[in-house]
Amino acid sequence: MVLSITVKRPVLLYTAALALVLFLAYNYQPILRRSSFRQHNMTPWSSKYEGWHGRATFHPSPETFTPTREILAFAVLHHAPAIPDGFTLALFKPDVAVDARGKVLILNPDDFTGLSDLARQTLDLPSTGSFMNAWRIAQRRTDQPIERLFVPGSTTALVETSVQGYEKGKTELKTPVGDIHELPEVLHELFGLIAEARDGYERGKEDEDTISKVKAVLGDV
């Protein structure tokens, strides 16, 4: 009997180990495939202007700042189910910004120039043909927020370019624009920078007076 037990134990251990290996191999394949899928659909995000919001300083006398269309570089409105008429950011020449909190900031001149140049480059993009001229990122949920960018065009009119469901690194479009299946690089970089303007934002604690003045500059959009 003792001999029989010592013979069977290695066999049992070998069988158990083999079963464990087969189980792990079978169950981890879907995980590996999903991981590879995520990496394939993610694009590294970077910008030399990253951190612009943290480098900005508060305007020494914000009450004296008057936003006008003539000095507007660009503005961004926030549209979401819970906040259909929100505000994210506006830049005014030479180096002034109003963030989502309604704070009036002085930007580093290089940051102001970089953000403004990126915004103007969006004027060269093709129209999406969709509501709000939106580039829609492929997301599982459909009720994604939309950031609406307005840039002065060659006339006094504002040109709108929006991105719905923006996520840093995710560029696959839900609906291609012509033969374009990925979010253009300029939008990928710019809207990642725009997101910084919502740092520190708390709903209900924004400076509504300042934000209302900025929205008035945009008119009926």
46 within a domain of the structure (yes/no): no
Mean local confidence (pLDDT), 113-134:
97
Interval 83-101: pLDDT, tens: 889 999 999 999 999 999 9
Give the residue numbers spanning the domain of 68. Answer: 52-218
122 within a domain of the structure (yes/no): yes
The answer on 59 and 150 residing in a single domain is yes
The answer on 81 and 57 residing in a single domain is yes
Per-residue model confidence (pLDDT) at position 48: 96
The answer on 163 and 121 residing in a single domain is yes
The answer on 165 and 213 residing in a single domain is yes
Per-residue model confidence (pLDDT) at position 166: 96
Alpha helix segments (H runs only) across 46-203 = 52-55, 109-121, 185-194
110 within a domain of the structure (yes/no): yes
Count structural domains, the chain. 2
The answer on 1 and 110 residing in a single domain is no
Interval 133-188: pLDDT, tens: 999 999 988 789 999 999 999 776 999 999 999 999 999 999 999 999 999 999 99
The answer on 2 and 110 residing in a single domain is no
Interval 15-57: pLDDT, tens: 555 555 444 444 544 433 333 333 345 788 999 999 999 999 9
Per-residue model confidence (pLDDT) at position 43: 83
Q: Which residue has the higher pLDDT, 173 or 221?
A: 173
Per-residue model confidence (pLDDT) at position 18: 52
45 within a domain of the structure (yes/no): no
Residue 212 pLDDT more than 80?
A: yes
**DSSP-assigned states of every residue in 28-86:** HHHHHHHHHHHHHTB-----TTTTHHHH-EE-S-GGG----GGGEEEEEEEE-SS-TTE
137 within a domain of the structure (yes/no): yes
User: Is the CA virtual torsion 194, 67, 152, 219 positive or negative?
Assistant: positive
72 within a domain of the structure (yes/no): yes
Per-residue model confidence (pLDDT) at position 82: 86
> For all residues of the chain together, what is the average pLDDT?
86
The answer on 67 and 15 residing in a single domain is no
The answer on 36 and 56 residing in a single domain is no
The answer on 79 and 12 residing in a single domain is no
